Amino acid sequence: MRTFGVHLVGNCVECPVRKEQFFCNFSVHALERLNEIKATAPYPKFSMIFMEGQQSRGVFVLCAGQAQLSASSFAGKIIITKISEPGNVLRLNAVIANRPYEVTAEMMVSGQANFIPRDSLLQFRKDHEEVALRMVEELSRDYYTAYEEIRLLGLTRSPSEKFAKLLLSWWNKTAPYSRVAEVKRTLHHEEIAEILDTTRETVSRLFAKFEEKRLLQLKGKILVIRNRIALEKIAPRWDS
């Protein structure tokens, strides 16, 4: 069945990409139980999955599409904290701690998410050891993602260094062992500016500057990132 242009997968056991997704790659027995406790729903582009400050009722497993996670300040300033990909479990930490969602999740492209209520998730964890282990691993991944975000914003000195670090993070995520990386462009300059805590004009200048130095190339909706050594010179490791 297709809804909003997305082919919905209702049975986790039969999911064609299950083994490619970190959290969902359980045994058949656990997947059959997951089918019983989750609710599948399509989400069109720009739809909200949940909002910052809303009490966490459960987790959302992103099955297809991309979701933008953002947080706001009391002054109304918004910063993008993460772009979630298929297989990511959204806000497991808030559900485990029984705290409100600390970010807003908005779909960047149409997709699918499976909702698992908090009580069902906690029982699922107790009944299946592999689920408990996967949840711990997922929380650890979230911790390091947040840590990298803090380092990107708090310890980076210049917009060029922040931009180089962002490009390297995309490279490491999509093609860590390749000589170049081709990344599908899903973020506008305004959204990249929110990630880097800078202005849209600065991001536009950075793209032009890095393209002039042949560190990147724009091919329609594809961003080609080149010359890892040069990028690492602009953005050296903090522990070096």
Note the pLDDT tens digit of each residue in 140-182: 888 877 777 666 666 667 899 989 988 998 898 888 888 999 9
Strands 6-7, 78-84: pairing is unpaired
The per-residue pLDDT of the chain, averaged, comes to 88
Q: Say what percent of the chain tops pLDDT 90.
A: 54
Instruction: Pinpoint the residues of the chain covered by CATH 1.10.10.10.
Output: 159-234
19 pLDDT higher than 90? no
Instruction: Pinpoint the residues of the chain covered by CATH 2.60.120.10.
Output: 7-154
Q: What is the pLDDT of residues 194-237, one digit of tens each?
A: 888 889 999 999 999 999 999 999 998 899 999 999 999 998 76
Higher-confidence position of 23 and 56: 56
Fold observed for domain 7-154: Jelly Rolls (2.60.120)
Q: Of 112, 93, 104, which is closest to residue 69 (Cα–Cα)? A: 104
pLDDT at position 239: 45
60 pLDDT higher than 90? yes
pLDDT at position 152: 64
Q: How far apart, in whole angstroms, are the C-alpha atoms of residue 236 and residue 224? A: 21
Q: How confident is the model at residue 35 (pLDDT cuts 50, 70, 90)?
A: very high
pLDDT at position 240: 40
- Residues 123-131 have a mean pLDDT of 95
- Residues 5-12 have a mean pLDDT of 82
Q: Say what percent of the chain tops pLDDT 70.
A: 92
Work out whether the CA dihedral 218, 223, 225, 231 comes out positive or negative.
positive
> What b-and-e string marks burial along 175-194, b requiring 16 or more CB atoms within 10 Å of the CB?
eeeeeebebeeebeeebbbb
Q: How confident is the model at residue 67 (pLDDT cuts 50, 70, 90)?
A: very high
pLDDT at position 25: 85
**What is the value of pTM for the model shown?**
0.74
Q: How confident is the model at residue 80 (pLDDT cuts 50, 70, 90)?
A: confident
Tell me which DSSP letter residue 14 carries: G
Fold observed for domain 159-234: Arc Repressor Mutant, subunit A (1.10.10)
Kindly compute the dihedral angle of the four CA atoms of residues 180, 186, 191, 197, in this order, to the nearest 10 degrees: -20
pLDDT at position 155: 64
pLDDT at position 14: 85
